[in-house]
Structure 1
Amino acid sequence: MKIMLIGASGTLGSAVHRTLADRGHDVLTVGRGAGALRADVSDPAGVAALYDAAGPLDAVACAAGDVPFKPLSALTADDFHAGLRGKVLSQVELVRQGVSRIAERGSFTLVTGVLAREPIVAGSVASLANGAIEAFVRAAAIEIAPQRVNAVSPTIVTESVPDYGDFFRGMPSVDLADVARAYVRSIEGAQTGQVFIP
């Protein structure tokens, strides 16, 4: 399959890229500062240009999404707008514009995270964004068939515990390889409207 992977140079994206490539897929990497194609997917015009440059695709997968982490008392309306634009609207736009651009039985795999169901201090924007993506996946799935859409919702990855473990106290971690396998399940499988929790 020809798969466009957004966020391919990040910690998660790199693992997903390697896994998909090892399985024989043609992976078109996308990032803001690195990748075969460069794009800011928080800009709808950038998403349109990205699809124009990519050509025919079988699947689109996203492993990127920016949200601010601050205590609720310190968050501004702009912080919430930034989180929605950076993680929710960017991924919604990939699906909205992509349904006419990918294969008839193609798929979309979006990224959410544990904070949709297990909140942490200073994570309210991430919880809001993750919950919104998971609701969108369920709703979009009933409208875009036979195309499919799913989300992968990991907890903190083991490889990032040294940097971010203090924010996720007491939460079990998951290896990057397990998260990458959830992307494979979404892309190569037959299910739709699912939130895969590796």
Structure 2
Amino acid sequence: MNILLIGSTGTIGKEIYNTLKDKHTVYGAHRNSDSYPIDITKPDSITRLFEKLPKLDAVINASGTAVWKPLSDLTTEDYHTGIHSKLMGQVHLVHIAKDYLNDNGSITLTTGILAEHYEPNAVALSLVNGALHSFVNAASHELDRGIRLNVVAPGAIAGDFPKDQKFAGYFPVQINEVIKIYEYILTSTLTGQTLKVY
């Protein structure tokens, strides 16, 4: 498969890259890449990258950010950070990627446990995660040519978070368990699904 992986240097992205690179042709993209630069907050940046790549079988996004603050401290600008990056960045990606994928291709987005479980200071992130789950559920029905759209929602990653400490009410998950889900989606027939790993 030809796979575009966005966020290939992050905690999850680098492990996806290392797992898939020996089995598939993986283009590891990120904001500071010399070879495959991309900024998902800018549709033109997304399009430029797709234009330089061959037709793809799958796109995986493991990038996007939001602000961590208590509700009482959150400003409109703080909310807009997550909406602009993690939410609309991934929405832009779907709109553009669908035209550059082969028939029956796959788009996989990333959210997390905060879509439905509370963690202090994470209101802004919970907002965008929940919105993305609704978007994937609805948008998956309107993609043509058999293109599938799913989202992976992991808990905190062990090693990145203390293994004996709960996050949003759950203990951290092993990175290899999370990566198995991204890999499974590539060859499954699933679409419109939120795959939770926590």
TM-score for the superposition, normalised by structure 1: 0.93
Question: Match of 2:60?
Answer: 61
Q: What is the CA-CA distance between 1:17 and the residue it aligns to? A: 0.8
Question: Match of 1:90?
Answer: 89
**Alignment partners' CA distance in 2, 1:93 and 1:114:** 22
Q: What is the CA-CA distance between 1:131 and the residue it aligns to? A: 0.5
Question: Match of 1:148?
Answer: 148
**Alignment partners' CA distance in 2, 1:28 and 1:90:** 19
Identity %: 35
Alpha carbons 2:165, 2:172 under 8 Å: kept: no
Question: Match of 2:14?
Answer: 14
CA spacing shift, 1:5–1:78, aligned 2, 3 Å: same
CA spacing shift, 1:165–1:123, aligned 2, 3 Å: farther
**Alignment partners' CA distance in 2, 1:12 and 1:39:** 17
Structure 2: stretches of 5+ with no match in the other structure: none
**Alignment partners' CA distance in 1, 2:165 and 2:40:** 30
How many residues are treated as equivalent by the alignment?
A: 196
**Alignment partners' CA distance in 1, 2:187 and 2:161:** 29
CA spacing shift, 1:118–1:97, aligned 2, 3 Å: same
**Alignment partners' CA distance in 2, 1:131 and 1:83:** 12
**Alignment partners' CA distance in 1, 2:21 and 2:101:** 19
1:25 and 2:24 correspond: yes
**Alignment partners' CA distance in 1, 2:34 and 2:187:** 23
Counterpart of 1:69, as a letter, is W
Question: Match of 2:105?
Answer: 106
**Alignment partners' CA distance in 1, 2:165 and 2:77:** 26
Q: Deviations over 1:16-63 (max 9, x none)?
A: 1111124x1110010011363011111111111111122311110001
1:134 and 2:141 correspond: no
SS at match of 1:161: coil
In the TM superposition, structure 1's runs of 4+ consecutive aligned residues that sit over 6 Å from their partners are: 164-167
Structure 1: stretches of 5+ with no match in the other structure: none
Counterpart of 1:10, as a letter, is G
CA spacing shift, 1:179–1:56, aligned 2, 3 Å: same
Counterpart of 2:193, as a letter, is Q
**Alignment partners' CA distance in 2, 1:183 and 1:35:** 25
Alpha carbons 1:3, 1:59 under 8 Å: kept: yes
Segment drifting more, 148-157 vs 92-101:
92-101
Q: What is the CA-CA distance between 1:175 and the residue it aligns to? A: 0.6
Question: Match of 1:185?
Answer: 184
TM-score for the superposition, normalised by structure 2: 0.93
**Alignment partners' CA distance in 2, 1:92 and 1:28:** 20
